Structures are given as structure tokens and as C-alpha cells.
Structure 1
Amino acid sequence: MALSTARAAIDDSEFDRDTSVAARADEPGVYDAELSEGWTIGSAVNGGYLLAVAARALRAWLPHPDPLTITAHYLTPATAGPAVIRTQTVRVGRTMSTGQAFLLQRAEDGTEVERLRVLAGHSALDALPDDVRTSARPPLMPAYDACVGRESAPEGAPFVGSTAIMDRLDLRLDPATAGWAVGAPSGAGVIRGWLGLADGRDHDPLSLLLAVDALPPTAFDLGLQGWTPTLELTVHLRCRPAPGPVRVSLTTRNLAGGLLEEDAEVWDSADRLVAQSRQLARAPRG
């Protein structure tokens, strides 16, 4: 897919359709959703996608639209199918509101199982001051066309995988951080790449919640293979992204006790830091 700033119509976006929620008329603050198989890794739904679904429900419930800070605890693996999101208001102020959301699914025995618990502070990104004082710099990486896509991965590489979510992403990895795909991980715990959505939809605050959790895990660059389930994820949104794919840089500095942290920075086409995150995850056991 060529690097483009052409906007896809929101109504035609698979991401928006698959993160949509429907308010229950008889239960204020309660929303129904259908978690799509299209955003799964194996049988489990991607954590960033889940967070976007919960944030969309909070956006519908709270008076302020955008999550400035959002923290999720992943309690049990979510699967494709019906889900319910129960939202609560914690506090409402003039420029910021705080709410929480609980995402639940029905187990085979009919009981409700909580998958995700979220606490978020919402405001309006477009109303934030535009003063920027930062020492942060965009990641040094090749241009989009010089990075490698899924079609370049060798047969059997984990980058190819049988993960449905890969078909919905336009992901191009920095070759310097993709050696693990050919059996040569660097051991540095770094993954970088360009990220867009396959249908051409530009990023917005909700899709940035997906972006911080959409690249292959840094555990691959540490020489580990297998599922890396997220236990907790906190995302800070700094501004609304400019059109075009974003650059995502992931780093892990410490793996101990079977756990690792993964720090993400997301930069837009205007060289602005638009999102940051940290997650705690279980290291692969295999």
C-alpha cells in the first residue's frame, strides 16, 4: 500500500465497524458489542483492539470525547463474539471527566466473566494547549518503502503467522529490528515499524490505542517465541495524529520473573509524538 494521506470514509472503515457499540435503552451506561474474529491472535482478541472497544463505550458515556490517559487490566482472555461494556462515571469536571468500564462476556455455563477493567481520563485533544517542549525525537528508521511487509517474511516466520489481525494492518517493519523473522534476533528487545490500517483509514485517538499493541512483541527480538499476554496496559494520548501511517517504536529493557515491560512511542507524519504507552506482559514460556 502506497504511503498516502487520502482519507477513507469513516463509515467504510472495518476498524470503526468492529469497535462499534450499541447503547441499551433500558440500562444507561451499558453497551453491547460484537468482538470480531478479524482482530484475533490465534483464538484470543488483541488487547489494543479490546481497549479501543472499551474506550468507544466510554466516549459515548462521558461528556468529553478523547482518552488522555487510559489504563486497562486484562483479567481473562477475550474471544470473538458478543460482549457487554458497563460504564461508570467517577468524576466530571469542566475540562476532564474520569470513568471506568468493565468488559464482560458470557461463559459456556451462562455466567458473566470479566475480561477487561479500564480506568480512563477523558478530555478534548483539540482543546489542549499547543505549547511543546520536549527532548523526544522520532525513531531513526528507513522510509516506508524501504521497510519490510508481511509479504517479505520467509515461510514459517512468526511475522507471517495465522493471525487474523495481520490482514487488517498495513505493517512495514524496520529491517534492523526484524532479524528474529529469519532466526537472527538482536537480543536488544527493540521493534520498530510503520503502521496503518489496511483499508486506508487514517489514525485517530481510538486507533492509536490499537497501534501501541499491534506490532510483533519485543520478546521476539529477545529470542523468545510464543504468546505474550498483556497483564496491564497504560496509554497516554498527546494529540490528534496527522493523516498517514504512524511510526511505532517498541522497547523492552528488563525481563525478570517471567514478566517484561514494553514501552511504545507513536509518531505521526508531522513528526509529533502522538501516543506513549507501557504494558506489563508475561514472557513466552516456550
Structure 2
Amino acid sequence: MTFEYDRDTALRPRGDGAYDADLAPGWLVGGGVNGGYLLAIIGNAVAAELGTAQPAKQHVDPFSVSAHYLSASTAGPAYVRTEVVRSGGRFSTVAATLLQDVDGTPVPRIAAHATFGNLDSAHDAKSDLEASALGLALEAPVLPPPEECLESRDAPPEVKKIAPLLDRFGTRFDPETAGWAVGEPSRRGVIQGWFKLADDRPLDPISLLMVVDALPPTTFDLGMPGWAPTLELTAHVRAKPAPGWAIVRHRTRTVAGGLFEEDCEVWDSTGTLVAQSRQLALQPRS
């Protein structure tokens, strides 16, 4: 079986560290292609380049990816240029740029630096025990069971018009933070729920780069619906996700100067924190 996500993030190597992609229309949101989906495509290109340049190191997993969104992407052909800027024992860092040709001119869409390593060997029992003793684990929010939550594919037409990518997911929103869907936002700046892909494709470390940008902007819960273009997003992958439902929480604490920050945390089905991110985005225009 070919999963939709794998088909839509597939790459074709063109040589010299460049990879061709086809940005699928199903991942559109607002005035462009979803930033998390694009970040996962960049992640695939980085993993492919490191696998080619230094296969013995097995630097196949993202640890930190910081991306600046330069212009809005459109559905259709694109390509990623990569350059290995550091090759270390535990980690390698790659510069990557996603581009699209517009009237014959290459237009950069995203510029990123990605640090990859191996999540299986990044820690051991001793370091895990020391970390646990600190008592600093970030606990997942307690949610109603998925069957008691609101399915993303049942979002109002005006929301799905802005974000058709919701049909890619099987997200179930926590009713406590989903009042925005019926015109009653809580104005707390929190949106959270259960997450999976619509076709039950299991999550992996690179797909977590997509998950951290998968929920509607927290500004929806502030009574400010609309497209919120990302300026910069930094994602940290902390562990390989276990199969099953993940829990995703987006929240904001500051809206100022026409911008807002959005923090995201992702926990897997065992309650393990597997990813975090922070992004700076434009406040939606009324």
C-alpha cells in the first residue's frame, strides 16, 4: 500500500545534492502550501543526501530544523538544493533550500538548516535515568477519548476553504479548545487534540516536522480566523514516535506588532514527548 503522505513527499535525485519534488494540491492552506508539509519534504532531501554522502554514520533522523519561509509555495514542481556544512561523529548539519521556477527564474521558498543524527544512539539508559530524576518531563494534556472529540474533516466549510489540508488528517479536536469551529473561540490561544494521518500511515521522525504545523493556527482560538503565514519555524525532534494516536497542542502567549508566536508539543501514544516547535507568524488580517 502506498500512503498519501509518502506519495506526496517523494523525491527524485537530480544529482549534485538536488532533489525534485511535486507539491501536492491537497496540502494547501490559506494562500500557499502548508509549511510543515514543506519542511518534511526538506527533511526527506536532507536524509537522502546524508545517506548518499556518509551512509556509515546513519544520520537519518532530524534533531533540529530551523526554516525561514521566504515566499509562498504553490502546488506543482519544486526542488530542494542541499549542502552538507558539517559532518560530525554524532550529528551532521545540512543547509537546504526549497525552490520553484517561476517564468524560468528560480524562486527560493524556504531556506533551512537541519541537524540530523540517530535517535537510537543519541541516548542510553544512564542518561535516560539522569533525565528522569530531574522531574522535568513535559506531561501531555488529558483529553477526552478520540470518539468524544470533534473530527477535523467535519470542520465548517469556511474553515476547510482556508485549510483543505484538514482532509489529510484524522485529527480529533478537544471540545474544550474547539469552540472556534462554531464561532465561539475560548480566546485562551490553545488548540489541541488527537492526531493521526487520515489513511493511518504511522508517524516517523521526519513526518513529525509536518505534525508540528498540522493544526489550525492558535489565532483561530483568539477569534482571528484566516491565513497566518509563517516567517520562521524551528522544530526539535526528541524521540521516535510509537504507533497509534499522538497528542498535539498548539498555544500562543503573545500577539503583538502584527505577529504572534506559536509553540507546539507532540506526544506519542505512550505519553512520550516526541517533538516541539516554535514559529513566528503573521497575525491574520480581518
Q: Shared fold by TM > 0.5?
A: yes
Alignment equivalent of 1:19, drawn from 2, 9, 15 = 9
Distance 1:77 1:157 in 2: 21
Partner of 1:5: none
Q: Which runs of 5+ in 2 are unaligned?
A: none
SS in 1 for 2:71: coil
Matched with 1:122 is 116
Equivalent pair of 1:203/1:245 in contact (CA under 8 Å):
no
Query: What is residue 182 of structure 1 aligned with on the other side?
Result: 182
Task: Rate the CA distance shift 1:226–1:97 in 2: closer, same or farther, 3 A.
Answer: same
1:110 shift after superposition: 1.3
For the pair 1:198 / 2:198, whether they are aligned, the reply is yes
Determine whether 1:145 maps to 2:133: no
Find out whether 1:101 has 2:119 as its counterpart. Answer: no
Q: Return the alpha-carbon distance in structure 2 between the equivalents of residues 118 and 100 of structure 1.
A: 6
More helix by share: 2
* Alignment correspondent of 1:6: none
Task: Give the superposed CA RMSD.
Answer: 1.4
> Which residue number in structure 1 is paired with residue 106 of structure 2?
112
1:70 and 2:58 aligned? no
Q: Write out per-residue CA displacement over residues 166-187 of structure 1, whole angstroms, 9 at most, x where no aligned residue.
A: 2211111000000111111111
Asked if 2 retains the 8 angstrom alpha-carbon contact of 1:74 and 1:115, the reply is yes
Q: Number of aligned residue pairs: give it.
A: 271
| Cα displacement (A) at 1:126 | 1.4
Letter in 2 for 1:128: A
Could you tell me which amino acid in structure 2 is paired with residue 148 of structure 1? L
Q: Give the Cα separation in 1 of the matches to 2:240 and 2:10.
A: 20
In 1, are the aligned partners of 2:30 and 2:226 still within 8 Å (CA)? no
User: Which residue does 1:81 correspond to in 2?
Assistant: 76
For 1:156 and 1:35, locate their aligned partners in 2 and report how far apart those are by CA, in whole Å. 23
Q: Deviations for 1:93-151, whole angstroms, at most 9, x for unmatched residues?
A: 111101110110011x2111000001011001111214043331111211111111135
The aligned residue for residue 34 of structure 2 is: 46
Superposition pairs of residues 186-265 of structure 1, within 5 angstroms: 186-265=186-265
SS in 1 for 2:170: strand
Show the counterpart of 1:4.
none
SS in 2 for 1:197: coil
After superposition, the C-alpha distances for 1:37-85 in whole angstroms (9 at most, x for unaligned) are 1111145110000000011000001141111000000000000111111
Question: SS state of the match for residue 77, structure 1?
Answer: coil
- What is the CA–CA distance in structure 1 between the aligned matches of 2:275 and 2:226, rounded to whole Å? 27
Mapped contact 1:157–1:182 kept (Cα < 8 A): no
Distance in 2, matches of 1:206 and 1:135, equals 22
2-side partners of 1:135 and 1:65: how far apart? 25
Give the TM-score of the pair, scaled to structure 2: 0.91
